[in-house]
């Protein structure tokens, strides 16, 4: 996995595909590879996908004992796109990554061609309460040893033994204290936006996602049925169809925004961003099966 120096970090990232730039920002406790595995093959058919690991996660070394703040994540994302030389880009964020993407958009609305936010609410509750309960390392080791082993395997090789036990409480503390974006900031985000949420997401009630949509000038809302927080992993076929429709319908707007900032990236090798995903790709993502993970999420 390559690294790029950004905001004092050696940011590990994957890159795949050809076409306009798309930066995918993962959720807390996870990694880019884990959160986007189900949709990345389809996205890479139309975009040059850049998938960084956040500080303290996966391959980007940072000890959460030294602090973990939402504002730093926004600084990291800004420095990352600068280091890659991306004047404008498309951004897709999930959960913590969606919050990071929203902060980047609020600071630099002119640099966004499009924005996709999955599993995000700009309100503190119930996010903070769920994160505090979910990210308790002692509870995880007692009641969910498989997840504890997964976290250790994902983070310990680079971050050091037991790093995940420092990381998760630090994330939960930040969720409970981070500054929230108000209407005056949100209304400045004038790029096309897609909001996606599961109808059983314990972090983000659908009515909160709807209120966020109403505060953004050019937004639409996709609600995944029978789904918890992890829409991209649990409902990949539906998510790919929603992304396909969004990117097709906003292609011209994205092109105009890139031109206005002087950073048009032409699709390579005949890729057609106006039709990024075929129905075959959506079908390959798997059939619509019952998703019971939300029950586990809610019980944690």
Tens of each residue's pLDDT in the chain, 300 residues = 899 999 999 999 999 999 999 999 999 999 999 999 999 999 999 999 999 999 999 999 999 999 999 999 999 999 999 999 999 999 999 999 999 999 999 999 999 999 999 999 989 999 999 999 999 999 999 999 999 999 999 999 999 999 999 999 999 999 999 999 999 999 999 999 999 999 999 999 999 999 999 999 999 999 999 999 999 999 999 999 999 999 999 999 999 999 998 665 444 333 444 444 443 444 444 433 444 454 445 444
Please report the sign of the dihedral spanned by the C-alpha atoms of residue 267, residue 273, residue 275, residue 280: positive
Q: Which CATH class is domain 3-125+181-299?
A: alpha beta
> Residue 36's closest CA among 98, 108, 109?
98
The reported pTM is 0.90
The pLDDT assigned to 262 comes to 67
DSSP letter string over 6-58? ETTEEEEEEEE--SSEEEEE--TT--HHHHHTTTHHHHTTTSEEEEEPPTTST
The pLDDT assigned to 261 comes to 84
3-state DSSP call for residue 295? helix
> Residue 152's closest CA among 143, 142, 162?
162
**Strand locations in 85-190 (E):** 89-94, 112-118
In eight-state DSSP terms, residue 93 is E
**Strand locations in the chain (E):** 3-6, 9-16, 21-25, 48-52, 89-94, 112-118, 193-198, 219-224
Chain centre distance of CA 69 = 16
């Amino acid at each position: 996995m390559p690294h790029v120096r950004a905001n004092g970090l050696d940011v590990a990232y994957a890159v795949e595909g050809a076409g306009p730039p798309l930066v995918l920002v993962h959720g807390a406790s996870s990694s880019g590879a884990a959160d986007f595995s189900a949709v990345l093959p389809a996205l890479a058919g139309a975009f040059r996908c850049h998938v960084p690991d956040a500080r303290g996660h996966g391959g980007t070394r940072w000890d959460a004992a030294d602090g973990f703040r939402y504002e730093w994540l926004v600084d990291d994302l800004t420095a990352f796109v600068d280091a890659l030389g991306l004047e404008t880009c498309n951004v897709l964020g999930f959960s913590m990554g969606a919050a990071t993407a929203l902060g980047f958009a609020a600071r630099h609305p002119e640099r966004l061609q499009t924005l996709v936010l999955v599993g995000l609410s700009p309100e503190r509750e119930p996010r903070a309460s769920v994160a505090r309960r979910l990210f308790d390392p002692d509870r995880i080791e007692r009641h969910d040893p498989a997840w504890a082993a997964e976290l250790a395997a994902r983070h310990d090789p680079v971050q050091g033994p037991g790093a995940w036990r420092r990381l998760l409480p630090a994330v939960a503390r930040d969720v409970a204290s981070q500054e929230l974006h108000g209407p005056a900031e949100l209304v400045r985000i004038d790029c096309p936006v897609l909001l996606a949420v599961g109808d059983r997401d314990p972090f983000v009630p659908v009515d909160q996602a709807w209120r966020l949509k109403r505060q953004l000038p050019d937004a639409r809302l996709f609600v995944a049925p029978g789904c918890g927080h992890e829409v991209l992993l649990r409902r990949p076929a539906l998510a790919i169809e929603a992304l396909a429709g969004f990117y097709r319908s906003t292609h011209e707007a994205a092109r105009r925004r890139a031109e206005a900032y002087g950073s048009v990236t032409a699709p390579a090798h005949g890729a057609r961003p106006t039709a990024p995903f075929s129905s075959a790709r959506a079908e390959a993502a798997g059939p619509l099966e019952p998703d019971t993970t939300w029950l586990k999420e809610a019980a944690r």
